[in-house]
Every structure is written in structure tokens, then in C-alpha cells.
Structure 1
Amino acid sequence: MSDDKTRDIFVYGLRNAHAMENQALSIMKPQLERIENYPEVAAKLEQHIRETEGQIQRLEDILGGLAESHSSLKDMALSFTGAMAAMGHSMAGDEILKNSFANFAFENFEIAAYKSLLTIAEEGGYTEASTGLQANLREEQAMAVWLDENLANVTLKFLSLKEAGETAKI
């Protein structure tokens, strides 16, 4: 593949990742605002929101280093779909569980995206981008592990609250 084609694919992927991270914020922020009974989840979401904001900055830095910018249209479109997904879960009686499932799936989607970007960066010789992409990947992997390790506890707390007749609102 020509260097120009690889560069185009890399830039396209970086723009997609930027939009993906904006989508993540539009999913997590409404969840955080609604959490009442799951302080450990709230604390982790708050931490990951800060990480995600850092990931967006890293992606902007990488794009800037290539004399490119993110796609505002993609950012808006994916942010909108993320907000709609978050709103859809808020109407469910088991919102915390649905959010936990969706967050775990989304983290794994992000992991796959960063692994692909790292492969393109290596293939295209964009070594300066690897540090930021690796940092983003590590944060996504850590969040996915946390969600995986805490799903049982969140589920048990949900059951406990429901059985006690308390609101299990997230």
C-alpha cells in the first residue's frame, strides 16, 4: 500500500477514535449524574471521564502532528448517539446493569480500535503516535478489567436493593 493511502487510513482512524471518545463522554457523563447507590461505580466513572478527556487531547496532539484536525461532524454525530443510548438505559428498571453491560462492550470496542491504530502506526512508520495510542489503550484496558471484575458486585448490590424494597436507581 502506498504511504499516502496508509496515512489517509491512519488519519481517518484517528478521527474516528476522537469521535468515539466524545461518544464515550456522552455516555458516561449522564450515567455519573444519575448514580445514587453505587459510589464505587461513580468514582470509577469520574476517573475514566478524566482519562477520556486526556485521551481526546492525545488524539488531537497526534492529529496536529500530522497537520490534521478532528472531524467536528463525526464528533457531534457520535456524541448524539451516545447521549441517546444513555437516555434509553435511564428508563430501564435495571439501568445500572444495562449500563454495566454497555460500558464493558464499549471499552472492548475502544480497545480494538486502539490496537488497530497501533498496527497502522507501526506499518506506516508513525512511531511518534505510538506513545499516546499506547497510553489510551492501557487506560481502556484497565477500565474494561475493572468493569469485568466488578460486574458481580454491582449485580449483587442491585439485587440487594431490589429485595429490600429500596430504589435501585443507579
Structure 2
Amino acid sequence: MSRIEENLMAWLRNAHAMEEQAVTMLTSLASRTGDYPNVKARIESHLAETKRQAEALEECIKRRGGETSTLKDLTAKMLAFGQGLSGMFVDDEIVKGAMASYTFEHMEAAAYRVLIAAAEAVGDTQTQAVCERILQEELSMASDLEDHLPELTRKYLNRLKPMRMSS
């Protein structure tokens, strides 16, 4: 296996662990967004996409003769669990969660751009196509988050306003 192929495999394993981390993060966030039904629905939709992405990456890794990294997957899940747990102790979790998700989506997009170039370099058109599809899903989620951050923030802030008493 060439150094380029070794890098592709390492990056695929990293991306798989990243998606496992995202599953844990999104699951945690979705469980606490009941006051924001539109946000909850979009998170749950992306959670289903994310699970399919992890499966597609695992298939790419196996097709190339490798295996996922249990250690990387477990470490990523533990990190995400800790992030989810920390969100329970802040009252503005919905805003911070949306900001973190927006940032995470862009990190994922960067990872898939790298994977697309690496897959192209070794002539792995199947992996390239999978990563191009996933990239579009990540960019769509990032765009949705970007579009809705101001509205989400206003809705959160409006919930903080004291209730006015009727005369």
C-alpha cells in the first residue's frame, strides 16, 4: 500500500470516528430541544443522515481492505458524551449547541474535501462519490444552521422575557 493509500485509509477511519462522535452529539442535543420543534426535527433528520454516513464510510474502509478503528470510535463517542453532558448545566444550551453544530459541520466538510482529493489521487471513484454525497449533506446542514441561528437566538431570548401579568 502506498503512502497516499495509507493516508486515505487513516483519514477514512478518522471520518468514521468523527461521524460516530456526531451521532452521539446529535442524539444528546435532539433529546433536549423539545421547546424548539423545528430544530429538533432538523437535528433528527441529520442524525439519520449521519448514521448512514458512518455506515457508508465503514463500507468504503472494508472495500479497501481495512477496518474501522474501535479506539478512535470509542474516544470520539466519549468526547461527544462529555460535550452533551456539559450542555445540561447551561441554560443557553440550544444556542451553544447550534453554534457548536455549525462549527462541527464545517470541520466535517473540510474532512470530506480532503477525502475527495485523496480518493481521486488513488483512483477510488466509489469512495470519492460517497464522500462527495456526504459533503453535500454536511454543507446543507451547515447552511440550515447558518440560516436559522438568528431566529433560534431570538426565540431563546424571547423565552427569557418575564411574563407580563394581565390586569
Q: Give the corresponding residue for 1:87.
A: 85
Q: Which runs of 5+ in 1 are unaligned?
A: 166-170
Deviation at 1:65, TM superposition (A): 1.0
In the aligned structure 2, how far is the partner of 1:30 from the partner of 1:164?
28
Residues 110-129 of structure 1: matches in 2 within 5 Å? Answer: 110-129=108-127
Paired residue for 1:24? 22
Task: Find the counterpart in structure 2 of residue 99 from structure 1.
Answer: 97
TM-score by length of 2: 0.95
Q: Distance in 2 between matches of 1:83 and 1:148?
A: 24
1:25-76 deviation digits (Å, cap 9, x = unpaired):
1111011111221001100010000000110111011111101111011000
Mapped to 2, the partners of 1:164 and 1:25 lie a distance apart of: 36
Aligned to 1:78, what secondary structure does the other structure show?
Answer: helix
Q: Distance in 1 between matches of 2:4 and 2:149?
A: 39
Following the alignment from structure 1 to structure 2, what is the Cα–Cα distance between the partners of residues 136 and 160? 35
Q: Which runs of 5+ in 2 are unaligned?
A: none
Q: Give the superposed CA RMSD.
A: 1.0
Identity %: 32
**C-alpha deviation, 1:152, in angstroms:** 0.6
Task: Give me the whole-angstrom Cα distance separating, in 2, the residues matched to 1:34 and 1:8.
Answer: 40
Matched, 1:12 2:7: no
Structure 1 equivalent of residue 144 of structure 2: 146
- Residue 15 of structure 1 deviates from its aligned partner by 0.1
Match of 1:73 in 2: 71
Structure 2 letter corresponding to 1:81: L
- 2:46 corresponding residue in structure 1: 48
How many residues were matched structurally?
Answer: 163
Hey, what's the Cα distance between the residues in 2 that align with 1:22 and 1:9?
Answer: 20
Q: Deviation above 4 Å: which 4+ runs of structure 1?
A: none
Q: Which amino acid aligns with 2:76?
A: L
CA distance in 2, matches of 1:40, 1:99: 15
Q: Distance in 2 between matches of 1:69 and 1:164?
A: 54
The structure with higher relative contact order (CA 8 Å, sep 6+) is: 1
